[in-house]
Structure 1
Amino acid sequence: MSADHEEEKILLVDDNPTNLQVLLQTLSGRGYKLLIAKNGDNALNIVHKVRPALVLLDIMMPGIDGYEVCKRLKDDPTTSGVTVIFLSALDDTRDKVRGLETGAVDYIAKPFQAEEVIARVETHLKIHRLEQALARRNRQLEAENEHILESMREGIVGINGHGKITFANPAASRITGWEAAELIGADAHGLLMPRSADGAIRPREETALYTTLSENIIQTVEDDVFWRRDETSFPVDYSCTPFMRDGEADGAVIVFRDITEKKRHQDALQDALDELQEQKDKLMHMSRLSSMGEMASGFAHEVNQPLTAINNYAQVCQRLMQRDPINMESLRDGLEKIGVQARRAGDIIARIRSFVKKPDHCLQVVDCNRLVQDVVKLAEVDARHNGMEIHLDLAEGLPAIKVDPVQIQQVALNLVRNGMEAMRDMPEKDVGLWVSTERQDREFVRVSVIDRGYGLADDADHQLFTPFYTTKDDGMGIGLSVCHSIIQTHGGVLNFIRNPEGGTTFWFTVPVAEL
C-alpha cells in the first residue's frame, strides 16, 4: 500500500456484530486503521476524537440513526469534511436520496459484495485525499495572498458596481488613516477622492473610477490627489481596473501609491538640475567673455577706425563752418560720412553686446545662413589679425532652424577661431577657412567649419569634448566641452573628421523648425 494510504482511519458503524466482523475482514490488511462503533452516539464521539477520513455508516440503529449521525457530522464545521458512505438494507430509492441529501457521498446496499465495498472505499478515499490536498493548497494560497496584500506598499481597494468599497488591504488603511472596518461599505468617491488638489469639489462623473465603472475600461492616472481621514491630501499615482464576473463588469479595483516621497525627490532633482543649468549658463557666459577678451585688441582696432574717421570728418566740418560763405553741400557730405562711420562703430559694438549678453534660453526660429554670416562678421576682425580669409559656402533654400541664436553663435565662433588658430602658423593659411551649411536630412541642418591646420592628436577621438582637455599651452579646455553641451541640449550632434588633405572639419547639427 502506498504512503498516501498509510494510517488513513476508517470508522465502521453498525449495531450488528456480524456485519462489523464482515467489514473488518473485507478491509483489513489494506493499509487502513479500522475503528468500530456500535451505535450513533459512540460514532459521533469517535469522529470528534480521531477525525477519520471515511465513515461506513449503517442507517437502522437504536437511538440515533445513521441519517441523524450524518446530519450532525455535516452540520459541525470541525467534522464536515469527513466522508460518509451509507451501508443499509434499505433499498428504496427514497432512502438512498435521503441519505445523499444528509451529506453522504455514496450508498451501498446490504447484503454487500466485498469487491464493491473495497472499490468504493478506495475511490472515495482517493477523492478525499484530493479534496484535502486542494483545501491545503487553497489555504496556502490564501495565506500567501494575504501576506502579499499585507506586505504591499501600494494601497488596494475593491469597489462594487455602486462605488462602495468592499475590500481594503493594510496599506490602504495605513496610507489613508482609515481603519479597514471604516473603509468597508464607504463610498470611494466621497471618502478618497472628493476634492481636487486645490480643494474644489470633484464631480463624480469626471473621475477615473466613474469611467471604469461605466465604460469597463482600465484607467491610469498620474500625479492626482487622494484624501486622508484627517482631511489632508496626498499625491498619488493610481489605476482603476474593471472587475469582471461571468463576462460582465461587477466593480473595480483601485491600486494607488503615495508619491509624496517621489515628488520630494523630483523637486530636489529639479532644484539640482536648475542649479546645474545655472552653472552651465555661467560657464557659457564666461566662455563667451573669454573669447571676446582674446579678440579685444582686434575689436579695439576695428572700432578705432570709424572713431578716427569720425574725428577727422568732424574737424573738416568745423573748418567748413568757419568759411564765409559756408559750403552747405560739403558740410552736408561731411555730416553724412560722420553718420556712416558712427553706424559702423555702433554695429560692431552691437554685435559684441549681443554675443556676450547673458542668455535667457530663448528658442527662436531663425535663418541658419544669416546666423552664420553674423558669426563671420564677428570673426573677421580676428581673421584680418591672423592674415587669412573666411570663405562662406551657404546652401540655398535651407529651412529655418529653431535654436537659441546666442548659444549657436557661440559654438560656431568657437569652431571658427579654433580653425584659424590651427592654421595661423601653417603655409596653407592662404587657402583660408571655409564655413558651409547644408541640409543633412528632414530634421536637421548641418554647419561645417573646414580648416587646413595642423590637425588633431591621436588621442583626441575620445577626449576632445571632455572638460579640461586641451592642446593649447594657455587653454583651459572648456570651449569644446561647452559647445558639445550646447549642441546636445538642442538635440543635435557635434563631431569632427580628419581631412585627407590635412586639417580638420568640425561639424554640428541643429534642428529644423516645425512650420
Structure 2
Amino acid sequence: MNSHFFSEQKGNILIVDDLPDNLRLLSETLTERGYEVQCAINGKLALMAVQNAPPDLILLDIKMPGLDGYEVCTELKSQASTAKIPVIFLSALDDVFDKVKAFNVGGVDYITKPFQVEEVLARVENQLTICRLQQQLHSQNFKLHKLNQDLAHSNQELEQFAYIVSHDLQQPLQTITGFAELVLSLKSEINLEEEADEYVLPILEEGIRMQELIKNLLEYSRVGTKRRELQPIDCNLILAETRKQLHHCIEETQAIITHQTLPTVKADRIQLGQLFQNLIGNGIKYCRPGVIPQVTISVEEKPGEWLFAIQDNGIGIKPDYFDKIFQIFQRLHTVQEYPGTGIGLAICKKIVERHGGRIWLESEFGVGTTFYFTIPF
C-alpha cells in the first residue's frame, strides 16, 4: 500500500486497554498503516488524553480497573467537545447484553476479543471514512446555507431595485401620456393633420401599456418587500370587492361568475384581493371567441389548509407551459391577441407562497383551466 493512500486515510487514534500486549500490537499495526496513535492503560488516563488532544477515533476496552469502558464512553458522550468522537469497543465480553449496552452508551461498533488485526483495520477505516463524509456534508451544508442567505439578500435587493425603478418611471410616463392625450384633444384647434393620429396614438397606447407594466412590477416587488401581519379575512367580502373591480370586463363579456360560500382565512387583505382579481380576471380575459366566459370559485377543507379552485371555460393551456406560466414575464400570447404584461401569475405564485401555500393548475387546451391554491389555517 503506497504512501499516498496512507495520507488520505491518516487519522489520530486513541487506544485504551489495560493489556500492554494489545496496546503494542494495535499501536504498531495502525502506525504502519499511516495513523497517528496515542495509548492509555486506563479510563482516567484516556479522558485526560482526550481533553489534551482529541482523537479522530477511540478503540476502547470495556473491562479495565477503575473506570470501565462503559463509564468512559458515557463521560465522553456527555461533553459537547467530545460527544462526536466515534468509539469502537474492544472486549472479550461476547454476551448480547454487553453489546447492546455498548451501543446504548454511544459506541459505533463492537469488536470481540481475541480480535483479528485486519478486522480492526477495516472497521477503523470504515468509521473514519464515515466521519470524513459527515464533515464534508456539514461543510457543504454550511456553504449551501451561506449561498441561500446570499441569494435571499440578492433577491431582496433586486426587488427593492425593481420597486424604486418602477416608481421613478411613473412620473415621466404620466407626462408623456398626458401630453399625448392633450394633443389629441386639441388637434382640431391647432389644425393638426388627421394623419398625425398614426404618430400620436401609438405614443399614447404604448405609454399606457408601459404604465400597466410598471404597475404590475410594483405589485410584484411589494409582495416581497411589504410584510404585513396576516389577519382573519372573509373571502366572500374579497370576492365581492373583486367583482366590483372587474365590473367593466364582466359587463363587456357578459361573464358568469358562480361560487360556493367561502371561508375566513388568515391573510393579507390587499394581496388576497390581488390573487382573486388576477385569477378571476384571467378566466374572463382568456375566453374562447363566441363563448361567454364562465368562472367558478370553489373551496374544500383539507388537513391544515383550505384548497381553493378557480375554474374557467377559456382557451386552456398546453401542458408544455405548465412549469413556465408562473415565471415572471412569461407570455403565451401576443399583446394583440390578449393584452397583458406576463407578470400576473408570477404575482399570484408569490402571494400564495408568502402565505405558506402552494399554487398549481390543471388545463385542457381548448376547453378550460382550473387554478388551485392552498392557504393554511
Question: Could you state the TM-score of these two structures normalised by the residue count of structure 2?
Answer: 0.47
Instruction: Answer with 1 or 2: which has the greater Rg.
Output: 1
Question: Could you state the TM-score of these two structures normalised by the residue count of structure 1?
Answer: 0.36
